Amino acid sequence: MAWNEPGGKGNPNDPWGNNNRGNKNRGNQPPDLDDALKQLMDKINGLFGKGNGNNNNGSGSGAGGFFGIAAAILVVMLAFNSFYTLDEQERGVVLRLGKYLKTESPGLHFKVPLVDQVIPVNTTKVREAEIKERMLTEDENIVEVELNAQYRVADPVAFALRVELPERSLLSAAESALRHEVGSAAMDPILTTGRAVLAEKVQIRLQDYLDRYQTGMVLTNVNIKDARPPAQVKAAFDDVQKAKQDKERFINEAEAYANAIVPEARGRAQRQLEEASAYKDRIIARAEGEAARFSNLYSEYKKAPAVTRERLYIEALSEVYTNTSKVLVDVKGGNNMMYLPLDKLMQNLPTVKGEGEPLSSGDISRLTDQVLNEVRTRQNSTGNTTRREGR
């Protein structure tokens, strides 16, 4: 039979203790709430070693049981809050009665409840802070600069205790460092090629501020994300930038032209110097050769003047006839000049020389004989003509 089934007899499974309290007048009505609470308190007091006592001490026993339960709950809560765990990225700053005690490493640790306080600090996470401000440059121009700073916590004690709201302190220090460096630089480098230099200078100055404030933070990277003129003057600034780009382009084209022309001119100059040096050496060598030849010729001339003179005469005629194909002869006692076609006469020679080859002595003698015969023939024809005209 279930404990809540109706019946005249009590059920031993009834938790409300109504085994011997059947009431004919109540019938199937539920038990009184006050009686149920009183019975529950009696059972709890029994668990803590307190008897039911008589009815006169019932209220005192109920109050003692309540405080016992509260004490047990408090003990469990204190035991639960006495242990804490730090992961690999965290360091625990322990305060005892508000005063710094020690720094705990990762793992399971114990603390005195209500006396010790643990502040966990992540020392490996790379955090970010960004600012965007409009600033005045050294040349009295206005630029909008957006800066991104990445940092981590190197000293958890200083980060947790030295400065209140360290992130806000970082933003204020970054703005101050950025304004100082932007105010010391011109506008053009900030907007074009000087961003990396500006970011490096800001990082050095900002780290100095953080060290002096004892924030415990170390910068890992500072980057100028964007730098631009205000929107109100952007069109004029774009025109100026375009003009500067055109200037740079013209300079680069001129330098490229100079780099192409100068080596070529230097090459031509070097070639002329080499040619002049070669010509000088050739002339000197030729002159020295002519001088040596003249000395040798003079020695031979002293030995046989007549033979040497005839040889020189023949060589001179050879050089003259080799370089010309026509000769004009002034006939003595005549009124006209003779024209001798040497090229035609040379064709009658039995031996034909190639171009540029000198004539031998026999060729010269035969050519001389032909020339003399041609001269006599023309002289005779001229004389006969003159006699006929006289008659």
Instruction: Please indicate whether residue 316 or residue 332 has the higher confidence score (pLDDT).
Output: 316
Mean pLDDT within 229-248: 82
**Position 336 pLDDT exceeds 70:** no
The whole-number pLDDT of residue 152 equals 94
The whole-number pLDDT of residue 6 equals 47
**How many alpha carbons lie under 13 Å from residue 339 in its C-beta half-sphere?**
3
Q: Are residues 168 and 221 in the same domain?
A: yes
Q: Which one, of 339, 349, 351, lies nearest residue 370 by Cα?
A: 349
Give domain status of residue 132, yes or no.
yes
Q: Are residues 205 and 143 in the same domain?
A: yes
Give domain status of residue 64, yes or no.
yes
Instruction: Please indicate whether residue 17 or residue 368 has the higher confidence score (pLDDT).
Output: 368
Give domain status of residue 182, yes or no.
yes
Q: CA-CA distances (angstroms) from residue 99 to 94, 112, 117, 161, 163?
A: 8, 14, 9, 10, 15
- 59-81 tens-digit pLDDT: 555 555 567 677 777 766 766 77
SS (H, E, C) the chain: CCCCCCCCCCCCCCCCCCCCCCCCCCCCCCCCHHHHHHHHHHHHHHHCCCCCCCHHHHHHHHHHHHHHHHHHHHHHHHHHCCEEEECCCEEEEEEECCEEEEEECCEEEECCCCCEEEEEEECCCCEEEEEEEEEECCCCCEEEEEEEEEEEECCHHHHHHHCCCHHHHHHHHHHHHHHHHHHCCCHHHHHCCCHHHHHHHHHHHHHHHHHHHCCCEEEEEEEEEEEECCHHHHHHHHHHHHHHHHHHHHHHHHHHHHHHHHHHHHHHHHHHHHHHHHHHHHHHHHHHHHHHHHHHHHHHHHHCHHHHHHHHHHHHHHHHHHHCCEEEEECCCCCCEEEEEHHHHHHCCCCCCCCCCCCCHHHHHHHHHHHHHHHHHHHHHHHHHHHHHHC
Q: Are residues 150 and 205 in the same domain?
A: yes
* Of the residues 185, 210, 229, the one at which a domain ends: 229
**Position 3 pLDDT exceeds 70:** no
155-182: buried (b, 16+ CB within 10 Å) or exposed (e) per residue?
A: bbbbbbbebeebeebbeebbbebbeebb
Give domain status of residue 105, yes or no.
yes
Give the residue numbers spanning the domain of 190.
127-229
Measured from the Cβ of residue 279, the count of other Cβ atoms closer than 10 Å reads 10
Q: Which long-range contacts (CB under 8 A, 24 or more apart) does 365-368 make?
A: 367/321, 367/342, 368/317
* Of the residues 122, 147, 178, the one at which a domain ends: 122
Give the C-alpha separation, 284 to 278, whole Å: 10
Q: Are residues 215 and 146 in the same domain?
A: yes
Q: Which one, of 139, 222, 145, lies nearest residue 185 by Cα?
A: 139
Q: Are residues 148 and 197 in the same domain?
A: yes
Give domain status of residue 88, yes or no.
yes
- 195-229 tens-digit pLDDT: 899 999 999 999 999 999 999 999 999 999 988 88
Structure token pair of residue 311? 């040889």
Q: Are residues 100 and 189 in the same domain?
A: no
Q: Are residues 87 and 74 in the same domain?
A: no
The whole-number pLDDT of residue 26 equals 46
Q: Are residues 142 and 210 in the same domain?
A: yes
Q: Are residues 66 and 153 in the same domain?
A: no
Give domain status of residue 275, yes or no.
no
According to DSSP, the residues that pair with 143 across neighbouring strands are: 135
**Position 19 pLDDT exceeds 60:** no
What is the percentage of the chain residues whose pLDDT exceeds 70?
66
The whole-number pLDDT of residue 192 equals 81
Q: What is Dmax (Cα atoms) for the chain?
A: 207
| Number of domains composing the chain | 5
Q: Are residues 90 and 75 in the same domain?
A: no
The whole-number pLDDT of residue 7 equals 47
* Of the residues 229, 261, 286, the one at which a domain ends: 229
Lowest mean pLDDT among 42-51, 174-183, 269-278: 42-51
Amino acid residing at 344: K
pTM of the model: 0.47
- Given a contact cutoff of 8 angstroms between Cβ atoms, the answer to whether 52 and 42 are in contact is yes
CA angle, corner 111, sides to 107 and 113, nearest 5? 145
Give domain status of residue 299, yes or no.
no
* Ramachandran region, residue 356 (left: φ > 0; alpha: ψ -120 to 50; beta: rest): left
Give domain status of residue 258, yes or no.
no
Q: Are residues 153 and 172 in the same domain?
A: yes
**Position 388 pLDDT exceeds 50:** no
Q: Are residues 111 and 138 in the same domain?
A: no
Average pLDDT in the chain: 77
**How many alpha carbons lie under 13 Å from residue 40 in its C-beta half-sphere?**
8
Mean pLDDT within 281-289: 93
